[in-house]
Structure 1
Amino acid sequence: MQILNSYVRKAMADGLIDEWHIWDFTRAAADHEWVTREFGPLRFMSDAVGYQACGTVSARSPLRMDARINNDLHLAILPKHDPDTFYEVVIGGWNNQQSVIRKAPRARLNDADRGDAPTVWAKLTPSVLSPGRANEVIISIEHSGTPELTVNGVVLGRWPDIALPAGADVMVRGGWGATLELCHVDAPVRRYVGNPGEQMPYFQAYQYYARRLADFADALFLKCDDDIVYLDLDGLAGFIDHRRKNPHYFVTSANVVNNGVCAHFQQVSGALPASLGHFERPPGGFGGTLWTDPDKANKLHDFFLASPNKELPLPTKVVDWQERQSINFIGWLGRDLQHMALAKGDDEKMLTVDLPAFLERPTCIYSDFTVSHLSFGPQETGVDVNRLIAAYDKLMREKLSA
């Protein structure tokens, strides 16, 4: 993904892409930690996500946030002078009727539930969080070290017994069915964290944007897999222009290296020789021998890496398509989010089969914009990942330094 990171940031620097939203659906703690380190501030988190860093507060500098959440905004206050303790502030708990502060050992920060920790403050706060706005939350510290919390202009409390003489780190989360969006975060590169452990979790991203249709109706979306290891920046503007000017297509795919449907048409055009094997038309657009054969994938990658022009043209500039296809790199128009509040399930089938059939709109593949996709799940046991990543990393450095 570091290779993809380099290409996308160059595209942003060149003005081709305005924002990059990284959706964290990682399954391993080390991967989550890497994504957190590498990519911008947190914008959104689903309701089962654990605490995420939000900022710091000191007597000199309050912490301000605009939090869109209906209930159960959780703040973890981690005193800098006391590394063993944290205070959990629950704002609008119990169906947005009550707020409390608990004191707990720092080791319990990632526990799923800390309701048994000692309560040091509680107050009835009916409707403290507004569903109709981004709630303005301000944490400040007086010079005496006393913290104060204000929500939507109302002082919830100040607590002399909770001294923070050296300030504190602050973390946030939602909970109990409430997703959390930090609306003050508008950095061009920012993170969105999905619920951990979800099978087929991608519906969370589609539903996020579909619920914000008014915000994104005029946008153009590019969605790509995290293992895109080559991106033809010279062809990206043409892909975007074609996508804008052809709204009758529901989704448009790039011309993808290591994609069953694309490989079939690449061979039909004469771009892939028979010596690499036969790239049949996958039945119904799904599966096929390339999808399951790591040896075939290795040979295809090596052929592409050795090709001087890094192009595998299709028979025509645009191939209309009405069957399933892999969505390794696709584009859609923001106005079509009205159709994309996807249910949990197979998002690829919904986007390339079910919705196009329902709306009577085709999909297509655009020949003049090439990307390379490292591997599919069934290929991973035999794809020469380390060697190929090293080769694509070298190619990326050559392309971006030219």
Structure 2
Amino acid sequence: MKILDSYVRQAMAQGLIDEWHIWDFTRSQADHEWVTREFGPVRYMGDNVGYQHRGRVTKTAASRMSARITNDLHIALVPRHDPATFYEIVIGGWGNAQSVLRKLPSEQLKDFDRSKGQPIWARSTPGVLSPGRSNEVVVNIDGDGVPDMMVNGVTVGRWPDIVLPEGAEVMVRGGWGGDLELTDAHAPVRRYIGNPGENMPYFQAYQYYARRLPDFAEALFLKCDDDIVYVDLDGLNGFIEYRRKNPHYFVISANVVNNGVCAYFQQVSGALPASLGHFERPPGGFGGTLWTDPDKANNLHDFFLASSTKEFPLPSKVVDWQERQSINFIAWLGRDVQHMALAKGDDEKMLTVDLPAFLERPTAIYSDFTVSHLSFGPQEKGVDVNRLIAAYDAVMREKLSL
């Protein structure tokens, strides 16, 4: 993903891409921590996502945030002078009816179980969080080190029994059905965190955009896998403009190296010699021998890496397609997120088969924009990942003059 990061940031520097939304659906804590370190501020968190760092509050600098959430905004204050404990403030808990404060050991920052954590302060706060606006939340520490909090201009609480002489780190999360969106996170590169432990979690991203159609109706989306290891930046603008000017297609795919449908057409055009093997038309656009054969994938990658042009042209500039295809790198128009409040399930089938059939709109593959996709799940045990990543990294550095 470091390779992809370099390409995307170069595309942003060239004005080809305006924003990069990194959706964190990581399946390991180490991967989650890496994404957290490498990419910008968090913008959105599912209701089962753990605490994320927000900033700091001191006697001279309040902590301010704009938060879109319906209930159960959790704020953790971790004292800088005593990091072994933290204070948890729950705003609008119990159906947006009550707010509480607890003192807890720091290990419970990663633990949602509060059955043993009795509140040290509680207050009835009916309707404290508004679902119709970004809630303005301010945590302040006065000159004596005493914290207080205001929400939408109303003082929720002041806690004179708590003293934070050196200030505190501020962490936030949602909870109990309350997804949290930090609407003041405007950085061009920012994180969106899906609920952990979900099987087929990607519906969360599609639903996020579908629920915010007015914000994205004029946008153009590029969706790519995290293991895209080559991007033809010279062809990206043409891909974007073709997508923009041909709204009758539902989604359009880049010309992808290591993609069963693309490989079939690449060989039909003569770009892939028979010596690499036979790249058949995957039945119904799904599966096929390339999808399952790591040796085929290794050979295909090596052939592409050895190519001076880094192009595998298709039989025509645009190939219309009526069946399933892998969505390694696709584009859609923002107005079409009105159709993307997808149920949990196979998003690839929904985007390339079910929705195109329902809307009577084809999909397509665009020949003149090439990307390379490292591996599919069935290939992973045999794909020479480290060698290929090193080779693609060298290509990226040469292409970007790094």
Place the TM-score, normalised by the shorter chain, in its bin: over 0.9
Q: In 2, Cα distance between the equivalents of 1:253 and 1:211?
A: 24
Q: In 2, Cα distance between the equivalents of 1:57 and 1:84?
A: 17
Residue type matched to 2:48 in 1?
Answer: A
Matches within 5 A, 1:188-203: 188-203=188-203
Look up the match of 2:223: 223
Q: In 2, Cα distance between the equivalents of 1:112 and 1:230?
A: 40
Q: Tell me the secondary structure at the aligned position of residue 275 of structure 1.
A: helix
Note the alpha carbon deviations across 1:293-315, whole angstroms, 9 max, x for none. 00000000000000000000000
Look up the match of 1:8: 8
Q: In 2, Cα distance between the equivalents of 1:321 and 1:95?
A: 48
Using the size of structure 2 for normalisation, the TM-score is 0.99
Q: In 2, Cα distance between the equivalents of 1:115 and 1:166?
A: 30
Look up the match of 1:86: 86
Structure 1 pair 252–396 and aligned structure 2 pair: CA distance change class (3 A): same
Q: Tell me the secondary structure at the aligned position of residue 361 of structure 1.
A: coil
Superposed CA RMSD: 0.6
Q: Please list every run of at least 4 consecutive aligned residues from structure 1 whose deviation after the TM superposition is greater than 2 angstroms.
A: none
- Unaligned regions of 5+ residues in structure 1, if any? none
Q: In 2, Cα distance between the equivalents of 1:115 and 1:191?
A: 31
Q: In 2, Cα distance between the equivalents of 1:38 and 1:81?
A: 28
Residue type matched to 1:370 in 2?
Answer: T
Q: In 2, Cα distance between the equivalents of 1:157 and 1:173?
A: 19
User: Shift of the alpha carbon at 1:131?
Assistant: 0.5
Look up the match of 2:168: 168
Residue type matched to 1:91 in 2?
Answer: I
User: Shift of the alpha carbon at 1:119?
Assistant: 1.3
User: Shift of the alpha carbon at 1:115?
Assistant: 3.9
Q: In 2, Cα distance between the equivalents of 1:281 and 1:145?
A: 69
Look up the match of 2:204: 204
Q: Tell me the secondary structure at the aligned position of residue 130 of structure 1.
A: coil
Q: In 2, Cα distance between the equivalents of 1:307 and 1:84?
A: 57
Look up the match of 1:17: 17
CA contact (8 A) 1:104 1:118 kept: no
Note the alpha carbon deviations across 1:67-113, whole angstroms, 9 max, x for none. 00000000011000001110010000000000000001111111122
Residue type matched to 1:105 in 2?
Answer: P
Residue type matched to 1:285 in 2?
Answer: G
Q: Tell me the secondary structure at the aligned position of residue 118 of structure 1.
A: coil
Q: In 2, Cα distance between the equivalents of 1:392 and 1:319?
A: 27
Residue type matched to 1:304 in 2?
Answer: F
Using the aligned pairs only, state the percent identity: 78
Residue type matched to 2:55 in 1?
Answer: G
Residue type matched to 2:217 in 1?
Answer: A
Q: Tell me the secondary structure at the aligned position of residue 256 of structure 1.
A: strand
User: Shift of the alpha carbon at 1:116?
Assistant: 2.1
Note the alpha carbon deviations across 1:196-255, whole angstroms, 9 max, x for none. 010000000000000000000000000000000000000000000000000000000000
Q: In 2, Cα distance between the equivalents of 1:95 and 1:53?
A: 25
Q: Are positions 1:322 and 2:315 aligned together?
A: no
Using the size of structure 1 for normalisation, the TM-score is 0.99
Residue type matched to 1:378 in 2?
Answer: P
Matches within 5 A, 1:1-400: 1-400=1-400
Note the alpha carbon deviations across 1:259-280, whole angstroms, 9 max, x for none. 0000000000000000000000
Q: In 2, Cα distance between the equivalents of 1:333 and 1:236?
A: 16
Q: In 1, Cα distance between the equivalents of 2:291 and 2:331?
A: 22
Q: In 2, Cα distance between the equivalents of 1:113 and 1:89?
A: 15
Q: In 2, Cα distance between the equivalents of 1:96 and 1:43?
A: 22
CA contact (8 A) 1:271 1:312 kept: yes
Q: In 1, Cα distance between the equivalents of 2:331 and 2:48?
A: 29
Aligned residues: 402
